[in-house]
Amino acid sequence: MSNLTALKDDKTVSEASMASNPDLWFEQKFDEHMKKKEEAHVSSMAIVVTKGTLDWAYPPFILASTAAALGWNVSLFFTFYGLELLKKDLKLEISPLGNPAMPMKMPFGPDWLQGINWNMPNALMGNVPGFEKVATALMKKTISNKGVASIEELRSLCLEAEVQMVACQMTVDLFGYKTDEFMPEVADWIGAASFLPTAQKADVTLFI
């Protein structure tokens, strides 16, 4: 018997087996359907963005731009202080006050000086005028020295990658913001109820 005949006989046997066993047929069709569905699936991520300081602006934009570069569908919901990240003019600052995990390092000078963690007492940080502006300037200098993209650059990358950025209308009303304060690329002005279905269906949902 030729190989072709054997293959035909095997196929006939397989079809006969499935015809006599509906469970086997259903299992095979189900596996085929799930495989096709998995191959066609596009991963997605939803992030609720609630912080508006320089340091907390990095996690959502880094995660969003990375996921978008991998071909994921990404949606960011900016609420409360996170709305600051959607402003036309970003004036983000950083505060070491009450943030003991944040290292304070000098972005200039010899290596031994830059390697020191300057642990500043809260009393000093809270009482010295302009301390936050100094800390912000030092952090921005450190970011520049290390070749890390700025928040403006990361936000632009997200927009180019078609990351959906939506604003919480309730918070806009609460804080008395005007829509013309925000960048024109804001995809929508919605409430939590409108965003929750997106978060529910996403493969990855984060709260930052």
Each residue of 137-196: pLDDT tens digit? 877 887 888 888 999 999 999 999 999 999 999 999 999 999 999 999 999 999 999 999
4: helix, strand or coil: helix
The full set of domains in the chain, from first to last, is 3-40 (no CATH), 44-207 (3.40.1260.10)
What's residue 7's pLDDT?
42
Q: Residue 58 pLDDT > 90, yes or no? A: yes
d(CA 105, CA 115) in angstroms, rounded, equals: 7
Each residue of 21-50: pLDDT tens digit? Answer: 766 766 776 676 666 666 667 899 999 999
Each residue of 95-154: pLDDT tens digit? Answer: 766 565 566 666 666 776 666 565 665 545 555 566 677 777 877 887 888 888 999 999
Which two three-digit tokens encode residue 186?
């804001």
Look at the pTM and tell me if it is higher than 0.85. no
d(CA 87, CA 179) in angstroms, rounded, equals: 9
Taking the alpha carbons of 18, 23, 26, 27 in that order, is the dihedral positive or negative?
A: negative
